[in-house]
Structure 1
């Protein structure tokens, strides 16, 4: 088998052989791109017939992983060709196909959360503001279709183009994010119950008994999922302090916030356990179960219901979100992880 650099060069030289005749004039373009939490070699096809505005792109590292599993370069290239051709066809119905409409950009600026330390290079080129060990960055919600949601990170260059300061972007995003992606706070037992049994289906008596048992946990011993209805970029819902305040009043206690991913956080009563032990649990789950692109933080946050403030509760900065858990953290007691 060849190594990654050899693989990249081979793809550059040979991939066009696996594309159809209609793409004979396409160009293969590979460049390093800064993504959330990582740098990737992004492969694109340029000069596509009838497609002047958009270009399908894919992480070359992910393709190499498929090659490492099979050792079948030809099979991987054939699958990649199919993926690109499906993406090209999908662009015909994409909101990006006819160019970008800047007329409604103010109503579609949203914010998301990323880890500040892991994304230092990204933050050099995007408007942002720090929030504890995190950073608030901005995205332009371009549109949605059957293939999914299209968003672009707002860069310094784009912010200048639309004439928006960071303060203006924050004001717009605070108004827009909860409107476009309404936040929700739900008992985790209810979420799991819906996954197992569905939302509306009739249950057998034994299933009903099991579901009732799942949802009978006292409030102050329950976990609550804070996200948004789309389940995308949902960790930003914790920036809406009223979500935390209402839950703290319901539980009659301060809260610990556990960052399970960029898409959701978990809230629990601060009577639930020790913050440092909870941070150990978060770290282990991050390293073992969460893709690097989705990791948010290894810290635990504390919400003070009287002061109505959210602050770091732990100081685990020796652990980056790209660490290898097996080298850093001992086994954690079974039963603490979600």
Structure 2
């Protein structure tokens, strides 16, 4: 059996319930186009799930097919998909408290994130947003945490309308909530590297301190600073808060260049570090070689002016597209609330 993508998509839709517990036999299964960050994918959803109201896990057919192409083993792929869906349903039932799914609490738990505007122009037609340079501020609903991580839901136009919230309402609420839900974190890159090296190390505290002293001797104009949040989730939005940028710029006595390493973090360097165009080329190469398509934010570089206290684009490179050959994996399903 050698299935093309369309054949695989229809077959897995028809077959997946055969590999799951009998209690899911009456559920509906649908595959629909989903505008995810930076790309469009096919999402497989169950509906009429026993015990779940207005919510459904989503797994992505594109990723399943890539695994099928890699292994050629349809039975193995569909078994993994079925187990993943069951695990998603079970963890939703077990871990996410019912009150967190109450959409009347949306305003209390909404936060903002940054995505690339051009790459996501189709997605932006469906969600409340506001532009920021070449990026867009969009809003997510924090559903809470479980043993597998933090679960969030993108706020679309329908959800906002249902709650009678304008984009300005969402922005004002998210501006307050984001830094409370995801406190901002600014760290010297050398400190981050030190924590990675010594995180689970049994080396002596004295040796760790000596290592840190050597690492931290880098001059400010050559230092790199990670700006994210304590959860390291959607942390690039931390650069929307001007005060931490100002404090860092005052500390190193320089304007800053901001390098968007992913939607989860950005890197700040002194304006004396190098030219913005050279830095943008580095950002582009790292994006294409090392950052998953889902996590790419921009190929541009931004400048924070510490005297004017403004953040603006510093480059206008020709390498604006975030696309390349994407490779996916079968992963924990996302949760979507309707």
Q: Same fold (TM over 0.5)?
A: yes
Aligned mates of 1:94, 1:266 — CA distance in 2:
34
- Residue by residue, what CA displacement relative to the aligned partner does 1:216-235 show, whole Å, maximum 9, x if unpaired? 21222110000000101100
> Structure 1 residue 139 and structure 2 residue 140: aligned?
yes
Question: Who is 2:193 aligned against?
Answer: 192
Residue 276 of structure 1 aligns to a residue whose secondary structure is helix
Aligned mates of 1:33, 1:258 — CA distance in 2:
29
Alignment of 1:237-256 (within 5 A): 237-256=238-257
Aligned mates of 1:136, 1:120 — CA distance in 2:
12
In the TM superposition, residue 42 of structure 1 has moved relative to its aligned partner by 0.3
- Residue by residue, what CA displacement relative to the aligned partner does 1:32-53 show, whole Å, maximum 9, x if unpaired? 1111111110011223233333
Distance of aligned partners of 1:315 and 1:324 in 2 relative to their CA distance in 1, 3 Å threshold: farther
In the TM superposition, residue 66 of structure 1 has moved relative to its aligned partner by 1.0
Distance of aligned partners of 1:303 and 1:260 in 2 relative to their CA distance in 1, 3 Å threshold: same
Question: Who is 1:75 aligned against?
Answer: 76
> Structure 1 residue 61 and structure 2 residue 58: aligned?
no
Aligned mates of 2:188, 2:208 — CA distance in 1:
19
In the TM superposition, residue 208 of structure 1 has moved relative to its aligned partner by 4.8
Question: Who is 1:284 aligned against?
Answer: 285
- Residue by residue, what CA displacement relative to the aligned partner does 1:149-178 show, whole Å, maximum 9, x if unpaired? 222222222222222222221111111111
Asked whether the 8 Å contact 1:91–1:97 carries over to 2, the reply is no
Distance of aligned partners of 1:50 and 1:159 in 2 relative to their CA distance in 1, 3 Å threshold: closer
Which one scores higher on RCO, CA 8 angstroms, separation ≥ 6?
Answer: 2
Question: Who is 2:225 aligned against?
Answer: 224
Question: Who is 2:335 aligned against?
Answer: none
In the TM superposition, residue 205 of structure 1 has moved relative to its aligned partner by 5.9
Alignment of 1:1-338 (within 5 A): 1-95=2-96, 97=98, 100-198=101-199, 203=204, 208-323=209-324
Residue 64 of structure 2 aligns to a residue whose secondary structure is helix
Aligned mates of 1:13, 1:157 — CA distance in 2:
29
Aligned residues: 325
Aligned mates of 2:174, 2:60 — CA distance in 1:
29
In the TM superposition, residue 142 of structure 1 has moved relative to its aligned partner by 2.4
RMSD: 2.1
What is the TM-score of this pair, normalised by structure 1?
0.90
5+ residue gaps, structure 2: 327-338
Aligned mates of 2:99, 2:212 — CA distance in 1:
49
After TM superposition, what 4+ stretches of structure 1 lie above 6 angstroms from structure 2? none
Asked whether the 8 Å contact 1:53–1:98 carries over to 2, the reply is no
Asked whether the 8 Å contact 1:41–1:61 carries over to 2, the reply is yes
227-236 or 201-210, larger mean C-alpha shift = 201-210
Aligned mates of 2:201, 2:184 — CA distance in 1:
22
- Residue by residue, what CA displacement relative to the aligned partner does 1:49-97 show, whole Å, maximum 9, x if unpaired? 3333322210111111111111000111111121122112112124365
Question: Who is 1:328 aligned against?
Answer: none
Aligned mates of 2:276, 2:7 — CA distance in 1:
46
Asked whether the 8 Å contact 2:303–2:312 carries over to 1, the reply is yes
5+ residue gaps, structure 1: 326-338
Aligned mates of 2:98, 2:66 — CA distance in 1:
30
